[in-house]
Chain A
Amino acid sequence: MKNISQKLFLFAIIVAVVSSCTKLNEQILDESSITGLSDKQVADGLIAPVYARLPDIYRHTTYFALQEISTDEAILPYRGGTDWGDNGIYLSLHRHETTSTDPNVNDTWNLIVQEISRSLTALSSLKDNKDPNAPGYIAEARGMRAFYNMLSLDMFGIVFVKDDPTAVSTIIRGEEAVNYLKSEFLAVEPLLNNTNGPGRLTQAGVWGLLARLYLNAAVYNDRYANNFNFKQQDMDSVVLYCDKIISSGNYALSADYFAIFGNDNHTNKELIFAVDQRPDLNGHNRMAYFSLSGDQYPLPQYPAANGTDGPAITSDFYETWAQANAPLDPAQADPRFYKQNISIYTNPGDSCVSDFNMDRGILRGQQYGLLRVNGAFVKCSSGLFKVGKLFNQSRSNPNLPVNFTEMVDFTTEGSNYSTGYRVEKYEFSRASSSGRNFGQADISIVRLADIYFMRAEAKLRKNDAASALADVNTVRMSRTAYTLQPTPISTINLDLLFRERGFEFYWEMLRRTDMVRFGKYEGSWTEKTNTDKNKRIFPIPQNAIDGSSNLPGYLVQNPGY
């Protein structure tokens, strides 16, 4: 009996051991790879991510920082020794001393390479899709892959060629890269239509990007040249694609300059290709929030929505406005410079308002606005909102007025909270409860004014100054929506064209590319004296270099970094 029970017990153990076995397949409860979608859902689901990171690329700390703070248009000092110190990265960026560990460079790079990969995923996965939109989506994805690669070429000097998702990308540079991008854009151009703009890539969008590529080809072909060789045939191509857009009749210059950057700009006919921002999905308000004072509150309904005392324009850039318009003040001469919305400036008694709209353009001097005390806006006895002179209350400097000065640099005085003229080009989103979130305005990538300007530049580089002047004045004279009427300029040359580009496109993330192309990037302004040509492109992030350390010679750091 004892033996039997022992045997039985041993049997029990064996059963126990064997029966409690598991295959250890990982069970995933909170995520699932998608299944059961229709062809249309699959197709939409593949093309949407191709654009999805655009708002993040066109952000204050990514593409904006790299394209603007590195130039004479924007400077971001260590505000009051307390804000925007960020371990010195914005000072380095302005001084052309950025290193390969710079987080903003790293973030921008990551977003771009991610979108190249998503474009590739979309275009290879859409091949078997039966949805009628699929062929168009493939063309968009391929065009966007070229667009992101063009950003990479412009900023990092390299282009990734990858058609097989399982292969390792081929890295190309210089003329080879330019030719590859041209062929890609040309391949998709006939397949695209013009009905999905400006938020998605259209045929006109591709034409605009082609014009931009041809215009900069001289730079991309020979990055470190002392003088760029702008080839005639490239300039002809610029003119060709600009002509196609202008003659299509689908686009129009906006009479109201600031409407191009307004909250309801999605239907503005000047926009050809833009980041489609929706407050309930992907919109950020960083363009409008970044430069304003921390004591400027643009929305009566949101007492937490303020600015941040970010970048200002440099005094050098301001002087180009002042000199061009002298003896008139730029605000009295050029409608693109400033638009007053708060009446108190011209009518000092008007200190109680029912609603409130920030001034636009370049903000100078003492600022007035909603007065926030202990977290709430002060109201007049009538119940209207009180508007008054602003002080740096939130900076523990209640006696320091929010009085924007021309002088801004990296000295202590120049770094104070209110130094530098500020830019409120994009309208502050009406929906932004924090000041940072819920952006409404589309962000321009390519707009019609740039098409005229690129055509002007190509013609000028072909020594057709008359046509160039005409194009520049076409843009200048189109801004007729205000009492202040625009005036034409009488002569044009490359320096004047560069200056005019600044007036038209300030803070539109084109400046670094422009400065390099016009040979201005090694110049000196405010705190910048570095003349190293290697700084025309940014370093490849150290993270990426480290990541490729198992493939020696694959990802080579740019010279000078």
Chain B
Amino acid sequence: MRLLKFNSLRKVCPTVKLARFLPVFLIAFFVLIYPGAISAKDKVASSSENADRIVSGKVTDEATGNPLIGATVTVKGTNNSTTTSTDGRYSISVKDDNATLVFSFVGYTTKEMSIGDASAIDVTLKVASAELSEVVIGYGTQSKKDVTGSVKSLQPGDFNKGIINSPEQLLQGKVAGVNVTSTSGEPGAQLSITVRGPGGIRTGSTPLFVLDGLALDNSSTGGGNPLNFLNPQDIASIDVLKDASATAIYGARGANGVILITTKRGKSGVGSISYSGTLGISSIAKKIPVFSTSEYKKQVVNVGGVLDDKGGSTDWQDVITRTATTQNHNLTLSGGANKLTYYASFGLQDQQGIIKHNDFKRYTGRFNATQKFLDDRLTIEANMTATSTYDLRPDYGTVIGSAISNDPTYPAYDSVGKPAQYQNINNPLQSFNLDKEITKINRVIGNITATVKLAKGLTYKLNFGIDNSTGTRDVQALPSTVPQRDGRLDTYYTTNRNTLFENYLTYNTDWGDHSLTALAGQSYQKIFLQGRNYSINKFPISPVEPQYNPGLGQELTLANNQPGGYALVNELQSFFGRVNYQYKNKYLLTATLRADGSSKFGGNNKYGYFPSFSLGWKINDESFMEHSAFDVLKLRAGWGQTGNQEIPSKITEALFTSTVSSSSSYPLSETGPYPGGTIYTRLANPDIQWEVSTQTNIGLDFGLLEGRLSGSIDVFNKNTNKILLQVIPADPIQPANTVWTNVKDMNINNKGIEVDLEYRVVNLKGFSYGVGGNITSLTNEVTKSPYSVIPSGSASGSGLTSATINGYINNQPIGTFYLKEFTGFDANGLSVYRDVDGDGIISDKDRIAAGSALPNLLYNFDINLGYKGFDFAANFNGVSGNKIYDNTANSNFYKLKIFKGLNTTDEAIQYPQESVNNAAPVSTRFLKDGAYLRLNNLALGYNFDVEKLRINHWVKNLRLSITGQNIFVITKYDGFDPEVNADRQINGVLSYGIDFLSYPKARSIIFGLNVTF
């Protein structure tokens, strides 16, 4: 296939926007005229018709003998088909003895039987092994056995269980090479996810998420994780594309991996209604072990402090936390007739946070439908989901900070049971009453696709999708007399709109030993982001909350209440092609090319080209392997280039603005208005482009012992360069202090080995067991950075302002902790740090690379047991080789704090020689081992035998389950939880592995009921 010459694309393209919708009209036109063509064909067919006869039989599961309900039976080469009934039976009319029947069922291997003169044909179908199943690869699907890239497909059975807010949680630990870290234990909080290590130093190293063919934009939708909108129950599969040969079809967005989410669809012939409900009970998994009241009194005196004993005994962490309940209800309807299938669901999750006054609610509705027309030549698929989330949050920083450091002798409540007022400590109950934040996000995503079979093997597909979300966040500070506050309401509105329009052709053909699939397409995506904020001050003390009536505010000044806002449009236009070629069904080749043009790129670099090649060799199909133990043995090798276009908008264009602000204007006269100062806010860089990742991958897939043992090993090496940074120009005299550029030569390398293994045994007596797991070894290194250090991770807490914790330095991994090395104490009990440069002064120049927040080993393993109706699963995941900077301890747990009467853990008194006056600057003293092993899920379920219960006429399936989530964590880390990543970025340069007053993690028990009617 000849690839287009892309260089001249911009000249070729006219800009008639209306014409973008022309294909829709043309399809409609086509649909109108096509019946003529069909009917002509039908006439020809019917003229040679023989007399019909009926063939009937039963379709059953080969292993269990159970009837398969809703299996499809088709006369090969015709559109004549039927589905099996509830007892697995079918009957179909056939025209002659030479006909062949094709039996197919989702999740089972398709079987063909020629009928001959038989009138009854019973068939058993075998469960499709993973190798035979289809994987979603972007603009199509492919049989797992033919895939040449590094792709991992997860089905609902593989997902993590429990209380789930977003899809990343479903796959945490499940895919080698994918690192999912929650930033805190807060419901709906951001998660950081990287595929094969971070490739850039800025935000935007998140993989591309594609939902039913619609590439999502990772921009914030107004608060929390933008992916919170998805109901996990609606997900049919998650496919993770890891290497460049798999992701290059997504070009400038493929560098950080691609995660394809496919939602459930109905099956024709089976109508079902199912309900699933869970009730979860959560409580804090681990408190920070601060001193108890009696211990506190002892320790304050021990270190020579003055005990200010108010006579109470308060566990302030108990004061702010609670046993929280989470309810989840889902109702699903699905089914369909021959030409129309549908799936509809309604979901509700009402989750209480383990910190009081924190609630997260999500309501989702989904409707997916597929309709076939014109003799099945035209298929229309429509997917639509609407979600509303509600998030109520207290002022966590204050609440958690007070809870771990407040004097425990202070009573939380006063004599009349109200939150006690103190001048010198903050009662978090006061904070709960006065400060809250409410975020409401509504998101609607819909896409419609039309697939047309143009000729034998040639298919055209049109995909049109819209993702629209609006968010409102109210930050409300109530007025009060004691403490005296005026009250304030800040409201932030966000609008995100993502429109996708794409067309592509797929062509399949076979000749002799050759088989070829080719894809060519075009895509246009437009993303519009808008944000606005308003505020008003000075509310009267009244029972009316400011969020319900901002007009009650009495003060609006430009200094305090200047509205703000932004609006952006990003456009992405792409052309892509892929060829899959097979020779003798053993030798596989995949080549892809995508040309991505982005409005974010500079005028001199509008289009980027992203090629990839990969080869596969099915060794087990070679004749010399005929008697080997391997059922599957496939070698894969691939190379490709991908990009990361998650660069800020507008940086290609220079901008000088005229504004009246403190930093741009100045009084020129004694009176009169101030002039608008004209300043450059940005310098142009027409050369700005995407970051480029070049990745090679070699992998081996294998299956042994008749499929019981299977797995894969992948080795990869990913180099990212043209790193995008905001840099300081060589000549400091510039209209803008910094300029965006792609740093020449700077390189970020990720390399690693990923191993997936699975052992599954199904015993004929109904006993099954399996163990599976994966392990990833990953190293990351920054090289050729022109900067001595790019700092990130701003420290928090008294005395720590302006200190940084992370540093990007040459020959060290991303997430490196760049710190002064704490070596002990001097004779006065003051901290001593290593004087690395030997100048006698301990300064920033004495910092060392003290380890990284990125684990070099990630692992996960699970155990499954099944007997009759019972199933049991345990899932562990862990990381090692990483460190955590405990900024919470750094700002709270050292001797001076307990001396001053603040509560601490025993970390504060661990050094007897430490002076009570010793300050605790940022140093390796508070750097801790972050390795952990977590029993993430423990699930026990029972499927009732509905036939035995004699309810099978109206209940198809009945299941009860109990799931434990976050059962235990083995770790040396003494904060709330070792899986933590507080966002302490500096100017968009990401921080890693910092724990600062993070929301504690919950341990939950979830009771579940599933019924299918």
Chain A contacts to B: CB under 8 angstroms? 1-2, 5-6, 8-13, 15-34, 37, 41-42, 44-56, 78, 80-89, 92, 97, 99, 101-103, 109-110, 113-114, 116-118, 120-121, 160, 162, 165, 168-169, 196, 199-200, 266, 276, 278, 280-282, 303, 373-376, 393-398, 411-412, 415, 433, 437-438, 542-551, 554-555
Contacts and interface: CB of A to CB of B under 8 A. Distances in A.
Given A21-B15, A373-B423, A97 B730 contact: no
A53 B663 contact: yes
Q: Is the interface of B mostly helix, strand, loop or mixed?
A: loop
Contacts of A121: 680, 735
Contacts of A303: 484
A92 B802 CA distance: 14
Contacts of B902: 396
A548 B19 contact: no
B801 A87 contact: yes
A34 B732 contact: no
B657 interface: yes
A12 B23 contact: yes
A13 B461 CA distance: 10
B733 A16 contact: no
Contacts of B454: 6, 9-10
Nearest to B915: A412
Contacts of B202: none
A27 B674 contact: no
A17 B787 CA distance: 44
Interface stretch (B31-39, B285-293, B930-938, B954-962): B31-39
Nearest to A45: B678
A22 B571 contact: yes
B19 A25 contact: no
9 contacts: A45-B676, A56-B663, A81-B798, A85-B798, A88-B919, A282-B662, A548-B732, A549-B787, A550-B786
Given A21-B12, A81-B900, A438-B559, A45 B801 contact: no
B16 to A, nearest CB: 6
A49 B664 contact: yes
A548 B26 contact: no
A9 B652 CA distance: 39
A24 B573 contact: yes
The 4 closest A-B pairs by CB, nearest first: A85-B799, A21-B13, A375-B483, A547-B728
Contact of B674 (A47, A118, A281): A281
B559 A280 contact: yes
B798 A31 contact: no
Given A12-B26, A48-B676, A375-B485, 14 more contacts: A2-B41, A11-B26, A23-B13, A34-B656, A34-B678, A37-B658, A48-B674, A82-B900, A83-B799, A86-B801, A87-B922, A113-B737, A165-B735, A396-B424
B10 interface: yes
B16 A55 contact: no
Given A5-B34, A8-B30, A15 B559 contact: no
A21 B9 contact: yes
Nearest to B24: A16
B599 interface: yes
Interface stretch (B193-201, B229-237, B381-389, B837-845): B837-845
Q: Which of A2, A48, A280, A549 has the most CB of B within 10 A?
A: A48
A31 B674 CA distance: 20
Given A99-B844, A396-B424, A30 B13 contact: no
B503 interface: yes
Given A22-B573, A55-B662, A374 B919 contact: no
Contact of A23 (B10, B845, B921): B10
B423 A393 contact: yes
Contacts of B951: none
B339 interface: no
Nearest to B675: A44
A42 B13 CA distance: 39
A99 B820 CA distance: 14
Contacts of A103: 802
A12 B664 contact: no
Interface string B459-488: 010100000000000000000111111000
Nearest to A8: B30
B274 interface: no
Nearest to A84: B799
A5 B14 contact: no
A366 B462 CA distance: 80
B800 interface: yes
B444 interface: no
B660 interface: yes
Interface string B589-606: 000000001111100001
A15 B677 contact: no
B663 A31 contact: no
Q: What is the interface residue range for chain B against chain A?
A: 35 or more
B421 interface: yes
Contact of B802 (A34, A41, A86): A86
Contact of A52 (B452, B559, B662, B901): B662
A370 to B, nearest CB: 12
Given A26-B649, A546-B788, A54 B666 contact: yes
B51 interface: no
A12 B663 contact: no
A323 to B, nearest CB: 31
Nearest to A551: B730
A49 B662 contact: no
B12 A118 contact: no
A87 B921 contact: yes
Contact of A49 (B565, B653, B679, B799): B679
A228 B564 CA distance: 53
Given A13-B460, A555-B732, A20 B566 contact: no
Nearest to B795: A87
Contacts of B484: 303, 374-376
Contact of A162 (B455, B559, B728, B733): B733
B658 A555 contact: no
A18 B522 CA distance: 9
B730 A47 contact: no
Interface string B672-692: 001111111100000000000
A41 B799 contact: no
Nearest to B9: A21
B425 interface: yes
A41 B665 CA distance: 12
A36 to B, nearest CB: 10
A110 B655 CA distance: 19
Contacts of B869: none
A34 B730 contact: no
Given A13-B460, A81-B919, A168-B730, A30 B14 contact: no
B665 to A, nearest CB: 5
B629 interface: no
B554 to A, nearest CB: 14
B798 A82 contact: yes
Contacts of A373: 423
B799 A81 contact: yes
B556 interface: no
A114 B901 CA distance: 46
Given A49-B664, A54-B666, A117 B599 contact: no
B666 A282 contact: yes
Contacts of A82: 798-799, 900
A114 B600 CA distance: 27
A196 B658 CA distance: 23
A151 B724 CA distance: 33
Given A45-B658, A162-B733, A52 B664 contact: yes
B569 interface: yes
Contacts of B668: 44, 47-48, 196, 200
A232 to B, nearest CB: 35
Contacts of B654: 33
Given A19-B19, A27-B599, A87 B676 contact: no
A547 B460 CA distance: 51
Interface in B552-600: 558-560, 565-569, 571, 573, 597-600
